[in-house]
Amino acid sequence: MKRVSSVQGKAIPIDRVNVDTDQIIPAKHLKRIERTGYGPFAFEAWRSDPNFVINNPAYTGAKIMITRQNFGSGSSREHAVWALEGLGIEALIGTSFADIFRNNSFQGGLLTIELPEKDIDYLMARAEELPDSEVIVDLPSQTVRTADGQWERHFEIDASRKHRLQHGLDDISMTLEDEVGITEFEKQRTPLKPSTLTVTESA
């Protein structure tokens, strides 16, 4: 996993609630077997509207996306995270995120920062009015602030997640360090649980 410390950049406002992962990356683009190359298809249907914010050149190069309630709802497709990364987004700041999307974002080192609605209202309006104004997400101090230093908020993040992000730790390697614990657990699992390898009578 890549190391994540702080993100500074322009913020692009997506002022819609319940943005589902079908909008972020439509199913027809899930047939590829790579992890990269999804950026051009991000928000494909909405981008066909020339007025959609992503088409606004004022936001070119934005690294932060301001979002609303339940962003990333629906399908578990991690391709949604890969698509946002393909757009150059490194941090999302929103009211709430769908659970699976939030987990997937973490896996890719894409920050999902939750703030109260009134703070999102402020950041959304600011991003809409001042596309060039930059926002800073600082992971070590757990703060979001405007680059001019006029506005600052604290955010919460699980300590172990923060640690893993800051050190770019690979989740799988970390888990495999507890090989003994997993093996011990397996020994005391009830033998009643099904195996997919046992011979089955063809139904």
Partner 1 sequence: MTQPKTIIEKIWTEHVVDRTGQDSHSELQQLIYIDLHLVHEVTSPQAFEGLRLASRKVRRPDLTLATVDHNVPTIGRDQPNPDPLSTQQIEVMRQNALDFEVPLFDIFDIRQGVVHIIGPEQGYTQPGMTIVCGDSHTSTHGAFGALAFGIGTSEVEHVLATQTLRQERPATMSVEVTGELGPGVTAKDIILAIINKIGVHGGIGHVIEYRGEVIRNLSMEGRMTICNMSIEGGARAGLVAPDQTTFDYLRDRPHAPQGKDWDHAIEYWSSLATDEGATFDREVVIDGSEIQPYVTWGTNPAQSTTVDGRVPDPETVPTEQRESIERALSYMNLNANVPIREIMIDRVFIGSCTNGRIEDLRAAAQVANGRQVAENVGAMVVPGSGLVKQQAEAEGLDVIFKNAGFEWRDAGCSMCLAMNPDILLPGERCASTSNRNFEGRQGPGSRTHLVSPAMAAAAAIAGHFVDVREVIS
Residues that bind partner 1 (CB under 8 A): 16-18, 20, 22-23, 26-28, 30-35, 45, 69-70, 73-79, 81, 96, 98-100, 103-104, 107-108, 158-161, 171-172, 175-176, 178, 181-182, 185-186, 189-190, 192-198, 200-203
Give least dist CB 107 to partner 1, A: 4
CA gap 140, 76 in Å, rounded: 29
**CB-wise, 34 or 148, nearer to partner 1?**
34
The Cα–Cα gap between 102 and 167 comes to 19
CB closer to partner 1, 2 vs 61: 2
Shortest approach of partner 1 to residue 188 CB, angstroms?
9
- Kindly tell me which of 9 and 108 has the beta carbon lying closer to partner 1: 108
CB of 66 to partner 1, least distance (A): 16
Q: How far apart are CA 200 and CA 190, in angstroms?
A: 20
The CA distance from 9 to 22, in Å, is 26
Instruction: Closer to partner 1 by CB, 33 or 132: give it.
Output: 33
CB of 106 to partner 1, least distance (A): 9
Is the Cα torsion angle 2, 61, 24, 42 positive or negative in sign?
negative
Q: Which is nearer to partner 1, 73 or 146 (CB)?
A: 73
Q: How far is the CB of 168 from partner 1 (least distance, A)?
A: 14
Minimum Å gap between C-beta 156 and partner 1 is: 10
> CB–CB of 134/10 below 8 Å?
yes
Nearer to partner 1, 13 or 108 (CB): 108
Assign 70 to helix, strand or coil. coil
CA-based angle 82:93:168, to the nearest 5?
55
Beta strands per DSSP E along 129-171: 134-138, 143-146, 152-154
Handedness of CA 17, 10, 108, 31 (dihedral sign): positive
